[in-house]
Structure 1
Amino acid sequence: MLAHQSRAFNSTSGPAVGAMGSTSGGISTAPGSIGSTGPLGGGSGGALGGHDCSTLSSISMRLGRASAVSAGPLCSPPTLVRSVPQAASAATVRRMRARYRSEGLWGLVDGRAVRQRSALGRADERVVAAVRKVLEGQRERSTGTLVRLRRRVGWLLEEEYGARAVALPPASTFNRLVHAVADGQGLLGTAAQRRWHASRPAPPFTPTVALRPGELVMLDSTPLDVLAVLDDGVTGRLELCIALDVATRSICAAVVRPVGTTSVDAAMLLAQMVVPTAMRPGWDAALSKQRSVIPYERLIALDARLEQAAARPVIMPETVIVDQGRVYVSASFVSACESLGVSVQPVPPANGPAKGNVERTFRAIADGFSQYLPGHTGSYVSQRGAAAEQDACWSLAQLQALLDEWVICGWQERRHEALRHPMMPRVAVSPNEMWAALVAVTGHVPVPLSADDYVELLPVRWQAVNDYGIRFGYRTYDHPGLNPHRRRRSPRADQNGRWEVQPQPLRPEPGVGTPARGMARGAVGPRGGGTAPVHRVHLRPRPPHPGTPREPRRTRGGDRPHRRRGQRLRPRPTPPPTPSHRRLGQRPRPGRRRP
């Protein structure tokens, strides 16, 4: 019976195919056609090639529909809605019909187009787990090659599963697998990059928000990529310490010191923040606060110190954010903060992103200031020029003056992309403009430091007071106020009878209105017992002019000069004989020469 029905169906395939052609070429809306109930012809009524569909079996109907779909359109149907160009077998039609009944229209979608592919491909899960474990284990180790990583993964697989139990993929496939596992996870790259990624807290991250000046101030130090002529006449590297206000991105204070920042330098940053920067001789009048966007007339009525000040904000810090360096967690720095009423907030160890604002500012200083100076060395050894030491010509004090001037005209007046006006978010403003906008809301309270407050921030030394005064750091200090303490022992037996001295290491130059020899800001005497300013009566000879050749530096062990790498020693000239020698032509006995 089935064969007879199939032959009858095929015998009338001409009209049937024509009717189905209108279905395969489009969905016809003519009544009585097989496509009237959908593309699959799921209806039970209608005629198929002039035969009643009710007299045909289900299998015959499916075969007929599959043949019609495979044949394609033979004539143009009266109404075209959608074309179905691909062919389908009877088995495909059965599967599509079953998926349509169970999943609906989504069951007719080709699964290959929506299949989710893994970035690891078909890699063995044991190999992937071993790669992850080895990468995590070498996060704190020195950077190696992928060959070393592949060998360690192989050793780990042998320890866990036995020899040759798990096969390693080829080298090229293994390298692609490593990048698929480690890219974006901080497991590859340099050792510094891996430590930086490991020190980050777990996301989501909370941005640091400061709404008023001084709410959060970040303090940090970094090597300055410039060589300078130090006090002993030798070129050396410098270190930069800055205090950055988060709300206004203002550099409130900046100190350049030889390599080796001390707690005194950090304490001096606090003192400079609350003291207006005075206009120096030679500075243009455009650098004054009166010529800037800062509301000068309103502030001068509150703080008279701003009358002759430069255009740099005066910000009293509330909280300072520091790292775990010994300078910023020392007792002297913490006590200096406590004396000013400033709270100290240390960040987690080795967590650079916790103070990313100041780290980014260091990069801006290197790009906008350091690279334009003679003696620039670059951030890496590979960037250093061949004549960097010979180009260095600025002294430490000169570089400090240049940096102070650049901060005012090159940083405070520069538009910062992270600073947006609350009422004009599309307009970037400068640190001075942001400080002017915020100080109009929060107000300004002057906090002048007294002489006692300033002395509390200075370092403490214990020295003996002799007839010539006090001598340390190749300088001698003297003043009539020392007369009651000369050649006398202090009551402090634990300090061997020496007196407490607090010098000012950042201001060794002569003060304003003092004699040519200058004046060293300092204090002598016990705490709370009064202070006495000390006059400097002898200074170590200044370094020679950068254009003149310098003698090689001599060591403390004798007259042998200190020779640098690649530097030839010049022969020492022989002194002429004098009549006081025992024998004519005899050379004087070598000995130590006093500086």
Structure 2
Amino acid sequence: MPQTSRIAEFPEAAAEQARWWERHILEVLHGLPPDAPEGTKPRPEFDPGQHSLAQRERAKAAELTAAGHQVSASGIKQRRQRYQRDGLVGLADRRSAKQMQAFGQVEPAVVEAMRQAIAETAEASSRTIGFIIWRTQQILSDQEETTGIELPSRATLYRLFDKLATGTHATGSARARRSIGARPSGPFGEVPASGPGELMQIDSTPMDVLVRLDDGVAEKVELTGMVDIATRSITAAVLRPSTKAADASALLARSVTPEAMRPGWAEALRMSRSALPHRRLLNIDKRLEHAAARPVIVPETIVCDHGSVFISHAFRASCRYLGINLQPAHKATPTDKGTIEKTLGSVATLFAQFVAGYTGSTTDRRGRGLEEGPLWSLPELQNLLDEWIIAVWQTRPHDSLRDPDAPARAFSPNKKYATLLESCGYVPVPLSGEDYVELLPERWQAINAYGIRIKHRTYDSPELNPLRRQRSGVTTKKGLWEVHYDPYDVSRIWVRDSRADRWITVFWKHLRRVESASASWHGTTLAPRSPAAPRNRSPMRPQPCCGGPTTVPLRNRTVRPSARSATAASSLAPGPPRPTARSPIRPPPRPNTTTSRTPSSPTSFRWACSTRLPTPGGDHDPFLPSGRARDSAGGGCRGEPPADHSGRLAEVHRRPASAPGPAVPG
């Protein structure tokens, strides 16, 4: 087949001349030029029915010679043969397309020496082009056969470096250089995932946001997330000052457990208001009745790196407990789990940079005075991240989720999950409350007369009375009691009573005060509490505990413990003074006092709608953007959150402090 497209390699003048010759050669072959109107008869001297091919070639040579183009019949024959063999390219003047050597007149030994000098920078620190040229000269002088070679001019060496160093970052970022060196030489492979949970990836990375910790210190935290390859859904993401094996185990529990709606979240974030098939799933899994719009995906295979968190005994035991196949990637090969690497990078660009305290990815991108500015606490930022995943990530069209039959159409993770659910089905994990508590991190504590103290918070319950100042009988732990806790919910802990073979739910001592202060602060009331429910129990979620007259068996648990109390509790933690800030994405101002703290509002991105009640003075809601009023029903907007979250983030408004909250003893 003639390679007609190669005519683009020739100059425009040579291409036009080739098309001019094509017109005459076609007349010799067929009797008519290519642009002849339909019904035109061949000229007598070029009629194939009257003259042979050789006669037509002599006639064309005579015609062109008479017109001033000196050519012989043999020349016409040669061009006709090249045209029949190579097409239009055969008629072009090949001298005009002659290409120079790749590196000009530079000696091959100099080229190889510079290649070696550039290759040596793969694991070294970044240097300048001048060092590469100096190193090239050193390599040539160290070899006997190249000692007499003279280097070209400096300008020629710079041009040679530009050609050889393309795509290597030889003088750029050392991190990018190492990443390029770790890439496989061949094409990238892909492990297909045809159903949710068939293949998932997990990883941790530092998050470029400063967080005010419980001790008042501003530090960056680590983000650990897990993504489903088939749907690109972020099934769970947690923030911790330093990720441990227990955090990864808790991440598994969050992935297989529905995300319950939290106070302050818009109604549009409910699963029943999303693209997920909520009604059909509710018939199978009753836990989804009050769930948010995040799919519940049970992992079959998890790909991780060789970090100590993911290859630890605790994380492997959790995977075995849930029947999950753990597949470590090759060492120093981030391309084995490129999806989670890209996903965590997207969290930085789509979420982190819109949060107060953003530090930038490197020190040269970091601003000044971030530590003295308003910062979120860790539970508050965790709540913001959970809401962002549901409101933005799960509803945002993903470029990797395109329909093969209609590539211009991109699916969101929720829509892709709903599509794959038709062919793969849904089988809920029979994860009871006891199973959930077993997956949580553990610690060994003494039960004192005042209860249990963890990180300056005191937990107590009447059910601990028989166990106070008693030994557990576990000699290897010096008689301490096994305590499980949720790192993302400080409202309660669980104590294993090995004598009665049960879990005792122990609440934070000041939990009810924090909830009451938070409700009074917003001018709203909490959800109605059942008369039989204890006063210090969260009204939004059943509590996993067992035994005792005021507890609920673990197997009846339907959703995860609430994080509302953790958010409110963190707002009472002592810390350095925070200046008043009116930025829409910054935390609310807090007074500098250790005896009285103003509870913060629930951490929620007030998108285009809100579930808060109107203020007593009128219909205008201060949570909404200026000039916007609530709908007549007072329930906010319907439908999925807007995809343009950047503009919505710029419209977020927080209610300023109007009066200090009640005093809470330390």
**Same fold flag (TM > 0.5):** yes
CA distance 1:306–1:484, shift in 2 (3 Å): same
SS for the counterpart of 2:360 is coil
* Post-superposition offset of 1:458: 2.0
* Post-superposition offset of 1:289: 0.9
* Post-superposition offset of 1:550: 5.7
CA distance 1:178–1:424, shift in 2 (3 Å): closer
Q: Give the Cα–Cα distance (whole angstroms) in 2 for the partners of residues 504 and 456 of structure 1.
A: 11
Q: Give the Cα–Cα distance (whole angstroms) in 1 for the partners of residues 458 and 210 of structure 2.
A: 28
Q: 2:330 aligns with which of 326, 343, 348?
A: 348
| Contact kept? 2:284, 2:428, Cα under 8 Å | yes
| Contact kept? 1:216, 1:246, Cα under 8 Å | yes
The alignment's C-alpha RMSD in Å is 3.9
Of stretches 432-441 and 130-139 in structure 1, the one that deviates more from structure 2 is 130-139
Aligned residue for 1:419? 401
CA distance 1:117–1:525, shift in 2 (3 Å): farther
* Post-superposition offset of 1:105: 8.8
CA distance 1:285–1:98, shift in 2 (3 Å): closer
CA distance 1:82–1:322, shift in 2 (3 Å): farther
Q: Does 1:449 align with 2:428?
A: no
Aligned residue for 1:307? 289
Of stretches 224-233 and 415-424 in structure 1, the one that deviates more from structure 2 is 415-424
Q: Give the Cα–Cα distance (whole angstroms) in 2 for the partners of residues 188 and 201 of structure 1.
A: 22
| Contact kept? 2:459, 2:507, Cα under 8 Å | yes
Of stretches 172-181 and 361-370 in structure 1, the one that deviates more from structure 2 is 361-370
Q: Give the Cα–Cα distance (whole angstroms) in 1 for the partners of residues 376 and 339 of structure 2.
A: 29
Aligned residue for 1:524? 496
Aligned residue for 1:62? none
Q: Give the Cα–Cα distance (whole angstroms) in 2 for the partners of residues 388 and 200 of structure 1.
A: 37
Aligned residue for 1:239? 222
Q: 1:151 aligns with which of 116, 128, 134?
A: 134
Q: Does 1:80 align with 2:73?
A: no
* Letter of the 2:444 counterpart: W
Q: Give the Cα–Cα distance (whole angstroms) in 1 for the partners of residues 392 and 68 of structure 2.
A: 69
SS for the counterpart of 1:390 is coil
| Contact kept? 2:483, 2:493, Cα under 8 Å | no
Where do residues 234-383 of structure 1 align in structure 2 (5 Å cutoff)?
234-258=217-241, 260-383=242-365
Q: 2:108 aligns with which of 116, 121, 125?
A: 125
Of stretches 186-195 and 148-157 in structure 1, the one that deviates more from structure 2 is 186-195
Aligned residue for 2:373? 391
Aligned residue for 1:48? none
* Letter of the 1:543 counterpart: P
Q: Does 1:220 align with 2:203?
A: yes
Q: Give the Cα–Cα distance (whole angstroms) in 2 for the partners of residues 402 and 105 of structure 1.
A: 68
1:76-118 CA distance string (max 9 Å, x none) = x6x3389785899xxxxx999999999x999997653454533
Aligned residue for 2:603? none
Aligned residue for 1:190? 173
Q: Give the Cα–Cα distance (whole angstroms) in 1 for the partners of residues 159 and 494 of structure 2.
A: 65
Q: Give the Cα–Cα distance (whole angstroms) in 2 for the partners of residues 447 and 354 of structure 1.
A: 28
1:210-229 CA distance string (max 9 Å, x none) = 11011111212222222222
* Post-superposition offset of 1:291: 1.1
Where do residues 395-414 of structure 1 align in structure 2 (5 Å cutoff)?
395-414=377-396
CA distance 1:193–1:525, shift in 2 (3 Å): same
Aligned residue for 1:181? 164
Q: Give the Cα–Cα distance (whole angstroms) in 1 for the partners of residues 454 and 67 of structure 2.
A: 98
SS for the counterpart of 1:238 is strand
| Contact kept? 1:196, 1:350, Cα under 8 Å | no
Where do residues 96-175 of structure 1 align in structure 2 (5 Å cutoff)?
112-161=95-144, 164-175=147-158
Q: Give the Cα–Cα distance (whole angstroms) in 2 for the partners of residues 216 and 245 of structure 1.
A: 6
| Contact kept? 2:481, 2:495, Cα under 8 Å | no
* Letter of the 1:378 counterpart: G
| Contact kept? 2:231, 2:401, Cα under 8 Å | yes
Aligned residue for 1:460? 442
| Contact kept? 1:227, 1:392, Cα under 8 Å | no
Larger Rg: 1
Q: Give the Cα–Cα distance (whole angstroms) in 1 for the partners of residues 368 and 503 of structure 2.
A: 50
| Contact kept? 2:64, 2:71, Cα under 8 Å | no
Aligned residue for 1:587? none
Q: Does 1:229 align with 2:212?
A: yes
* Letter of the 2:240 counterpart: R
* Post-superposition offset of 1:470: 3.2
Mark the runs of 5 or more structure 1 residues left unpaired by the alignment. 1-25, 42-68, 70-76, 89-93, 511-519, 553-594
* Post-superposition offset of 1:307: 0.9
SS for the counterpart of 1:388 is coil
Q: 1:542 aligns with which of 547, 551, 573?
A: 573
* Letter of the 1:352 counterpart: P
SS for the counterpart of 1:542 is coil
* Post-superposition offset of 1:422: 5.5
Q: Give the Cα–Cα distance (whole angstroms) in 1 for the partners of residues 498 and 313 of structure 2.
A: 19
| Contact kept? 2:457, 2:508, Cα under 8 Å | yes
| Contact kept? 1:213, 1:248, Cα under 8 Å | yes
| Contact kept? 1:275, 1:448, Cα under 8 Å | no
* Letter of the 2:129 counterpart: L
Q: Give the Cα–Cα distance (whole angstroms) in 2 for the partners of residues 225 and 491 of structure 1.
A: 45
So what's the TM-score if we normalise by structure 1? 0.70
CA distance 1:152–1:460, shift in 2 (3 Å): same
Of stretches 543-552 and 401-410 in structure 1, the one that deviates more from structure 2 is 543-552
CA distance 1:522–1:144, shift in 2 (3 Å): same
Of stretches 487-496 and 215-224 in structure 1, the one that deviates more from structure 2 is 487-496
* Letter of the 2:247 counterpart: D
* Post-superposition offset of 1:438: 0.7
CA distance 1:487–1:184, shift in 2 (3 Å): same
CA distance 1:177–1:378, shift in 2 (3 Å): same
1:412-445 CA distance string (max 9 Å, x none) = 1111222124664431121111111111111111
| Contact kept? 1:225, 1:370, Cα under 8 Å | yes
| Contact kept? 2:196, 2:417, Cα under 8 Å | yes
Q: Give the Cα–Cα distance (whole angstroms) in 2 for the partners of residues 365 and 100 of structure 1.
A: 63
* Post-superposition offset of 1:352: 2.7
Of stretches 409-418 and 378-387 in structure 1, the one that deviates more from structure 2 is 378-387
Aligned residue for 2:612? none
* Letter of the 1:159 counterpart: D
CA distance 1:292–1:83, shift in 2 (3 Å): farther
SS for the counterpart of 1:350 is coil
Q: Give the Cα–Cα distance (whole angstroms) in 2 for the partners of residues 387 and 354 of structure 1.
A: 39
Larger RCO: 1 or 2 (CA < 8 Å, sep 6+): 2
Aligned residue for 1:23? none
CA distance 1:83–1:486, shift in 2 (3 Å): farther
* Post-superposition offset of 1:482: 4.1
- Number of aligned residue pairs: give it: 475
Q: Give the Cα–Cα distance (whole angstroms) in 1 for the partners of residues 574 and 66 of structure 2.
A: 92
Q: Give the Cα–Cα distance (whole angstroms) in 2 for the partners of residues 138 and 496 of structure 1.
A: 54
